[in-house]
Amino acid sequence: MLRFGILSTAKIGRELVVPAIQDAENCVVTAIASRDLSKARAMADRFSVPHAFGSYEEMLASDLIDAVYIPLPTSQHVEWTIKAADAGKHVLCEKPIALKASEIDALIAARDRNKVLVSEAYMVTYSPVWRKVRELLKDGAIGRLRHVQGAFTYFNRDPGNMRNIPELGGGGLPDIGVYPTITTRFVTGKEPLRVQATTERDPEFGTDIYSSVRADFGDFELSFYISTQLAARQVMVFHGDKGFIEVKSPFNADRYGSEELELTNQNHSQSQLFRFQDARQYRLEAEAFSRAAIGEKEEIVTLENSVNNQKLIDAIYRASEKDGWEGV
């Protein structure tokens, strides 16, 4: 059993990742750390976790854990990933693991010098829904892929929320723009060449709240929009010359709908529905990470993959400042 320590009592850890690890077959949470010991103890008691620490450093120095899950504000991901790796711990860090592709070089160096596993927590890449999309595309189910279309939106104007605070790494592209990009790259195995984009910022917060993006992958295009101040919506569609695949609630099925995709043929006379009941993508992520951490062969999100995804996000920001294409 890989023993996880949780670095902070953040909401995503409390509500999604810690329960998933506790439910997993090959890993367990053995410690919670917070800068407030009472918060760490309260969360540890809630999930029957045996150990609580009143500082991150104390937990990293402990031999009670083998790996660390980091759900800190985005601006702290690089710093604490390096500290955890230097403490000899494997690291599963929430997305985005960095705010610029160049920052990930230091993480690769920390991973390599400490011989630990470091991975960005894109739970979607472990989901049976997205593995089925990849399989269908590979099998030619929709013929030649020509266009991918996506949307991911929610409404949040809470000034105290980290997503609306630039200093904490807030903004729509770091929070949700990474999902249409990582999933498209995951299922196609292709990388973008250039991008066009329009981005709007909140006049009060200064964070990016809306982006409309067009990315050229050579053989096909990806177009998507994201927003932190629109009615909630998620969709991804892969359109080919022989049919199309629609992923109904591609990123947060528990909140946006059922875990399913629909394959429709060329003349719209036939469709197949693939439904995945209770897929538990966070549990699958934890189990895959744990297998890879002990040396088993497993497909995970590598830091090299993270670099390529962040390069696209970086290019979207640059493209938003100009009229025309920007190279990735």
Tens of pLDDT, residue by residue over 172-190, are 999 999 999 999 999 999 9
Q: Among this protein's residues, is 95 annotated catalytic?
A: yes
**pLDDT surpassing 80 at residue 306:** yes
Question: Which residues have CB under 8 Å from 274's CB, separation 6+?
Answer: 129, 132, 260, 261, 262, 263
**pLDDT surpassing 80 at residue 206:** yes
**Average pLDDT over every residue of 234-241:** 97
Distance in angstroms (rounded) separating the CA atoms of residues 273 and 328: 35
Kindly indicate the confidence band of residue 255, based on its pLDDT and cuts at 50, 70 and 90. confident
Kindly indicate the confidence band of residue 59, based on its pLDDT and cuts at 50, 70 and 90. very high
DSSP letter at 175 equals I
Q: What number of CA atoms fall less than 13 Å from residue 17's CA on the CB side?
A: 27
Q: Please give the pLDDT value at position 49.
A: 97
Instruction: Name the pTM for this structure.
Output: 0.95
Q: Please give the pLDDT value at position 187.
A: 98
In the chain, the percentage of residues whose pLDDT exceeds 90 is 95
Q: Of 89, 95, 248, 311, which is the active-site residue? A: 95
**pLDDT surpassing 80 at residue 257:** no
Kindly indicate the confidence band of residue 278, based on its pLDDT and cuts at 50, 70 and 90. confident
Contact 139, 245 (CB under 8 A): no
Helix (H) or strand (E) holding 78: helix 77-86
Structure tokens, 230: 């629109």
